[in-house]
């Protein structure tokens, strides 16, 4: 674990900013030959293990992640391995160890993680080691063996290497505990050793070995600015190990919720240390260099109001104490009892008593999963970092539901639905009264700014994610799950009426259009079909107020999976349902329940019959994010083709359409209208992709391209018929080429005249830019083909190809390699939705390849597409990559999601699955993934046939062998 040197908060135990420290002068330091070290290392290396672990849930100070570290055997009979607390972790983990000698891999069970100090223990089944004799490394705390100038070796897994040996020399024995950052794991109330030995990632948990082959400390951290390493002394480690060896699981640990710091005499004197007190202390500890001082008292802890920062500790239970170890020995043996202190406060000596609290009681051992997030009680670690009490609902991971409400990690929830929630239990109680989709007020703070309370609206999620309680089992090391109360039903929306917006006369046609414009907000719980955002907002156009039919864009609603909320008149928010998603053009159709708007005035937009042309005057009508009307009269400067670079991962791109550009446009979504407010174009955002990421640009789209779909859907709704795929499309991306270029490629003059005759203002030829793989069209068409005619009629613009939505095949005349060809090319029936089923397994999300994949890849592998790999999952640990195809599992061919579910259902938990994959660049890779159904069960989300709601299902798997 690495640490940036420098002090933490003024009232916090932290690193002392002394990265320039030089080793103290050593007199008579022992020197050992390389032969001695070689013999020692040969003896102890078999006890070293490399540890791979995944933090399967965010919890307390930890995020969900995978990592690597080191450890070493300290009890070969019981199979106990010592490592760091930040390796064992406070929350649920899955860990494996590889012995460096025999390369045998074993499962590790966490059996103890210290609440404060940076050490913890794993245990393994010694019977699992078959090809070597297990060796243990003895732990020593003898002062004569731990002194400045001692030669050491740090042996472990450094920077990902299976085995690394780094040499060093102990330079300090009284360094402050390193500070790793507010809100991260930190240690306190202990000294650390320091040595000039640059350890790095993966070396955490390595033993610090002397020449006798004994562990004298535990490697814990290192400086990023100097070649210094920090080691934890073993005094408290040995104590806990002795308890574990006798079968005690709940190790006695006491606390006053008070942070002490060791201050040298010169600093203590500045605090007012009385001469007679100093004299007595120096007499008792002639080799001592300082005393303990109270640094921080946690609010509402047992010492609040009794101890104060700056108190100098003179005696504890009648005995003088200047070191951390005797201090903690008293605390750990006095849980539930009071201890007496003699302290100096200012110039006054005071005798005080403080009750010792059970440290484990303020160390969270449970969490709640809700809406994709993780909640636990505020821990002692967080309390020290942010000077808050060890109580309250802490957000370890915001997840889908809370992040949509503006809540982030390290927030504390205060009220939900106007009810105080001081505990996890109260939070659960309130959540159980809420309906799925209900919007309720949420009050919270961020721990970094506890003086600023925030209130937002939270939309309850009981559909996309589970609602569970997990409690740590100290015996098994697992966190056992129990399902919390099921959802009481979907949200019930009451009708409301909003007054009509009063609009200025100067808005012109905007006054007629604004009542048709609404806000759209969509929340997407999973990243599928290449969608990379969890929330998007845009503008909708009501095209039929009686049916509740709304026109939107695919930049706002890229996929069928999600929650859609519609805002009317900046006064009423109601849910919307996705009816239709166009597969080529940038538009979608939504529907809402008109009864929820009461008597609210909503106007159906009127479509213009006239297409816009270059030079036309037009009114641009938009809604700002604050629901303000924005109207500007402008001019069409151009109608042109535009291309969006193919993104990675592939996702929807509008193709085969000309964009309308304006003079001095408003950078906002809306519509383009004529003088009387009739809609001539949808002005919407398009996604743009580059090496710098995703951005957006705005283009107008002729309403004439959208009107046929709107009419078709409206008629089906009026007839109360099910909406099904109905429109055909040519599976090719087209582009315009100059006639001059086409001549060079072999276009004869006769065709030039015909094409120029179709559009007197155009001088271009349609060229196939890309053909969608896996379709009938890709068998007949090639990139570079020039399309000259459809059904014998010359064509020169996109719409002359795209308007044939009622034809299942097109008779094309093309020019290829200077030869004229007549082809009958099958068209494809376009889906009206995007992916409608996903499966989760081993911490990855799978789906069938979507349209953008086929459009972007020349050859799409058989199998199911891995679209997401979550941090801290088996899929991540064993390097399953997003945007790869799973083609085979345990020898079973995987062609679709049913095959995947069938294959993984046969795999018992804790066994390995052999997974064959093909990546985006067609490289084949075979992985072995250890399945864990306890934390990573198999599930699926699928949409009800006919465009209904989504259903979350768990999938049963084979029992453990």
**Domain positions in the chain:** 36-246, 254-360, 393-483, 509-719, 728-829, 837-954
pLDDT of res. 8: 39
* Distance separating alpha carbons of residues 254 and 272, to the nearest angstrom: 29
Q: Catalogue the active-site residues.
A: 86, 118, 203
pLDDT of res. 12: 36
pLDDT of res. 452: 94
Same fold, 393-483 and 728-829: yes
Q: Can you tell me which residue has the tokens 């999601």?
A: 897
Q: Note the Cα 831 to chain centre separation in Å.
A: 31
pLDDT of res. 538: 95
Output the six-digit token pair for 560. 């069928």
CATH number for the region 36-246 comes to 2.40.10.120
Residue 446 · residue 500 · CB < 8 Å: no
At 576, the pLDDT band (50, 70, 90 cuts) reads: very high
| Partner residues linked to 844 by β-bridges | 841, 869
Domain range 728-829, CATH architecture: Roll (2.30)
26, pLDDT greater than 80: no
**Lowest mean pLDDT across 47-61, 216-230, 477-491:** 216-230
195, pLDDT greater than 90: no
Side-chain-facing half-sphere of 327: CA atoms under 13 Å: 24
pLDDT of res. 197: 62
At 560, the pLDDT band (50, 70, 90 cuts) reads: very high
> What value does the mean pLDDT take over residues 731-740?
93
Q: The dihedral of CA 381, 385, 387, 392: what is its sign? A: negative
Residue 492's SS3 state is: coil
604, pLDDT greater than 80: yes
945, pLDDT greater than 60: yes
Helix axes 324-332, 235-245, angle to 10 degrees: 30
> What value does the mean pLDDT take over residues 924-931?
96
At 507, the pLDDT band (50, 70, 90 cuts) reads: confident
At 30, the pLDDT band (50, 70, 90 cuts) reads: very low
pLDDT of res. 225: 59
CATH superfamily of 254-360: PDZ domain (2.30.42.10)
pLDDT of res. 949: 86
> What value does the mean pLDDT take over residues 267-285?
95
- Within 10 angstroms of residue 561's Cβ, the number of other Cβ atoms is 25
The 10s digit of each residue's pLDDT in 435-471 is 999 999 999 999 999 999 999 999 999 999 999 999 9
With residues binned 3-state (H G I as helix, E B as strand, rest as coil), the percentages for the chain, rounded to 5, are 15, 40, 45
276, pLDDT greater than 50: yes
pLDDT of res. 126: 96
* Distance separating alpha carbons of residues 48 and 205, to the nearest angstrom: 10
Q: H-type helices in 285-417, by residue range?
A: 324-332, 380-386, 399-404
199, pLDDT greater than 80: no
- Within 10 angstroms of residue 887's Cβ, the number of other Cβ atoms is 18
Residues 6+ apart with CB under 8 A from 177: 13, 14, 15, 186, 187, 188, 189, 190, 191, 192
- Residues of the chain with pLDDT > 90, as a percent, come to 80
162, pLDDT greater than 80: no
pLDDT of res. 730: 96
Q: The dihedral of CA 382, 388, 392, 398: what is its sign? A: negative
The 10s digit of each residue's pLDDT in 769-812 is 999 999 999 999 999 999 999 999 999 999 999 999 999 999 99
At 115, the pLDDT band (50, 70, 90 cuts) reads: very high
Q: Ranked by mean pLDDT, which of 7-21, 283-297, 942-956 comes out on top?
A: 283-297
At 946, the pLDDT band (50, 70, 90 cuts) reads: low
CATH 2.40.30.10 fits 837-954, yes or no: no
CA nearest neighbour of 683 among 547, 827, 589, 587: 587
At 578, the pLDDT band (50, 70, 90 cuts) reads: very high
Average pLDDT, rounded, for the chain:
91
> What value does the mean pLDDT take over residues 843-860?
94
At 841, the pLDDT band (50, 70, 90 cuts) reads: very high
Long-range contacts of 825-828 (CB under 8 A, 24+ apart): 825/730, 825/776, 825/777, 825/780, 825/781, 826/775, 826/776, 826/777, 827/728, 827/729, 827/730, 827/731, 827/777, 828/728, 828/729, 828/730, 828/731, 828/772, 828/775, 828/776, 828/777
| Partner residues linked to 450 by β-bridges | none
- Within 10 angstroms of residue 906's Cβ, the number of other Cβ atoms is 12
The 10s digit of each residue's pLDDT in 412-421 is 999 999 999 9
- Hey, what CATH topology would domain 393-483 get? Pdz3 Domain (2.30.42)
pLDDT of res. 227: 64
The 10s digit of each residue's pLDDT in 659-713 is 999 999 999 999 999 999 999 999 999 888 777 777 889 999 999 999 999 999 9
pLDDT of res. 82: 97
pLDDT of res. 759: 74
CATH number for the region 509-719 comes to 2.40.10.120
Residue 354's SS3 state is: strand
219, pLDDT greater than 50: yes
The 10s digit of each residue's pLDDT in 876-920 is 999 999 999 999 999 999 999 999 999 999 999 999 999 999 998
**938-943 and 837-841 strand pairing:** antiparallel
End-to-end CA distance of the chain, in Å? Answer: 37
Output the six-digit token pair for 27. 């007199």
pLDDT of res. 24: 29
> What value does the mean pLDDT take over residues 834-856?
95
Output the six-digit token pair for 389. 């009490």
pLDDT of res. 938: 95
Q: H-type helices in 342-404, by residue range?
A: 380-386, 399-404
940, pLDDT greater than 80: yes
Tell me the C-alpha to C-alpha distance, in Å, between residue 843 and each of 561, 762, 847, 878, 900: 19, 53, 14, 11, 14
């Amino acid at each position: 674990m690495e640490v940036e040197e420098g002090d933490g908060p003024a009232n916090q135990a932290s690193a002392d900013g002394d990265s320039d420290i030089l080793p103290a002068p050593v007199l008579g330091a022992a020197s050992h030959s390389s032969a001695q070290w070689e013999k020692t290392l040969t003896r102890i290396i078999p006890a070293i293990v490399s540890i791979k672990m995944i933090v399967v849930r965010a919890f307390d100070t930890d995020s969900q992640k995978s990592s690597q570290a080191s450890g070493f055997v300290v009890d070969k009979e019981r199979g106990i391995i010592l490592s760091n607390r930040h390796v064992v972790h406070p929350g649920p983990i899955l860990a494996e160890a590889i012995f460096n000698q025999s390369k045998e891999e074993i499962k590790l069970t966490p059996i103890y993680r210290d609440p404060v100090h940076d050490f913890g223990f794993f245990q393994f089944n010694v019977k699992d080691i078959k090809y070597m004799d297990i060796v243990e490394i003895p732990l020593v705390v003898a002062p004569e063996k731990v002194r400045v100038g001692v030669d050491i070796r740090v042996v472990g897994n450094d920077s990902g290497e299976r085995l690394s040996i780094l040499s060093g020399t102990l330079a300090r024995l009284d360094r402050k505990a390193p500070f790793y950052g507010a809100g991260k794991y930190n240690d306190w109330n202990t000294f650390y050793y320091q040595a000039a030995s640059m350890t790095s990632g993966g070396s955490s948990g390595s033993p610090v070995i002397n020449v006798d082959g004994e562990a004298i400390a535990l490697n814990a951290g290192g400086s990023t600015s100097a070649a210094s390493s920090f080691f934890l002394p073993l005094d408290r480690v040995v104590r806990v190990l002795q308890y574990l060896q006798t079968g005690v699981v709940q190790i006695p640990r006491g606390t006053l919720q008070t942070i002490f710091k060791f201050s040298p005499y010169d600093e203590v004197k500045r605090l007012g240390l009385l001469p007679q007190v100093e004299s007595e202390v120096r007499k008792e500890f002639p080799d001592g260099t300082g005393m303990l001082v109270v640094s921080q008292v946690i609010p509402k802890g047992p010492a609040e109001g009794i101890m104060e920062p700056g108190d100098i500790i003179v005696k504890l239970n009648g005995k003088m104490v200047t070191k951390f170890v005797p201090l903690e020995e008293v605390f750990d043996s006095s849980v539930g009892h009071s201890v007496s202190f003699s302290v100096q406060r200012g110039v006054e000596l005071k005798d005080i008593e403080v009750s010792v609290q059970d440290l484990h009681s303020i160390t969270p051992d449970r969490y709640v999963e809700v809406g994709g997030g993780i909640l636990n009680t505020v821990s002692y670690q967080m309390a020290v970092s942010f000077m808050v009490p060890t109580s309250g609902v802490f957000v370890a991971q915001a997840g889908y539901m809370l992040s949509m409400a503006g809540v982030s990690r390290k927030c504390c929830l205060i009220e939900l639905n106007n009810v105080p929630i001081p505990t996890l239990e109260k939070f659960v109680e309130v959540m159980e009264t809420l309906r799925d989709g209900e919007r309720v007020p949420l009050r919270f703070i961020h721990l970094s700014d506890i003086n600023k309370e925030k209130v937002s609206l939270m939309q309850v999620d009981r559909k996309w994610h589970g609602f569970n309680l997990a409690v740590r089992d100290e015996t098994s090391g697992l966190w056992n799950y129990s399902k919390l109360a099921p959802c009481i039903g979907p949200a019930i929306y009451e009708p409301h009426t909003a007054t009509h917006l009063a609009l200025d006369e100067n808005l012109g046609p905007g006054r007629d259009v604004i009542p048709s414009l609404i806000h759209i907000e969509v929340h997407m719980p999973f990243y599928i079909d290449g969608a990379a955002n969890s929330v998007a907002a845009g503008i909708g156009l009501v095209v039929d107020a009686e049916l509740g039919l709304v026109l939107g864009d695919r930049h706002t609603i890229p996929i069928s999976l999600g929650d859609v909320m519609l805002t009317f008149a900046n006064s009423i928010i109601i849910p919307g349902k996705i009816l239709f998603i166009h597969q080529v053009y940038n538009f979608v159709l939504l529907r809402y329940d008109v009864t929820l708007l009461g008597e609210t005035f909503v106007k159906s937009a009127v479509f213009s019959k006239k297409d816009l042309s270059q030079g036309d005057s037009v009114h641009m009508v938009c809604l700002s994010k604050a629901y303000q009307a924005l109207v500007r009269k402008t001019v069409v400067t151009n109608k042109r083709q535009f291309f969006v670079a193919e993104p990675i991962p592939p996702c929807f791109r509008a193709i085969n359409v000309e964009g309308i550009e304006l003079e001095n446009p408003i950078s906002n979504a809306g519509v383009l209208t004529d003088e009387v407010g009739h809609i001539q174009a949808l002005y919407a955002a398009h996604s743009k992709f580059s090496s710098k990421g995703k951005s957006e640009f705005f283009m107008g789209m002729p309403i004439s391209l959208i009107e046929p779909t709107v009419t078709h859907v409206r008629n089906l709704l009026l007839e109360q018929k099910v909406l099904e795929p109905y429109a055909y499309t040519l599976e090719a991306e087209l582009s315009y080429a100059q006639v001059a270029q086409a001549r060079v490629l072999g276009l004869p003059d006769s065709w030039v005249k015909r094409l120029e005759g179709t559009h007197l203002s155009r001088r271009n030829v349609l060229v196939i830019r890309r053909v969608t793989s896996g379709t009938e069209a890709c068998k007949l068409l090639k990139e570079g083909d020039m399309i000259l005619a459809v059904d014998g009629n010359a064509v020169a613009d996109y719409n002359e190809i795209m308007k044939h939505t009622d034809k299942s095949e097109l008779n094309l005349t093309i020019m290829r390699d200077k030869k004229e060809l007549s082809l009958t090319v099958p068209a494809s029936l376009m889906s009206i939705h995007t992916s409608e089923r996903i499966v989760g397994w081993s911490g990855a999300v799978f789906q069938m390849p979507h349209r953008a994949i086929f459009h972007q890849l020349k050859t799409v592998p058989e199998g199911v597409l891995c679209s997401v790999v979550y941090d801290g999952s088996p899929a991540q640990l064993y390097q399953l990559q997003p945007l790869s195809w799973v083609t085979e599992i345990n020898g079973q061919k995987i062609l679709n999601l049913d095959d995947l579910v069938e294959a993984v259902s046969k795999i018992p938990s804790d066994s390995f699955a052999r997974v064959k994959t093909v990546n985006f660049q067609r490289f084949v890779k075979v992985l072995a993934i250890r399945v864990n159904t306890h934390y990573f069960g198999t599930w699926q989300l699928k949409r009800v046939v006919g465009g209904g709601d989504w259903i979350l299902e768990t999938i049963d798997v084979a029992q453990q062998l």
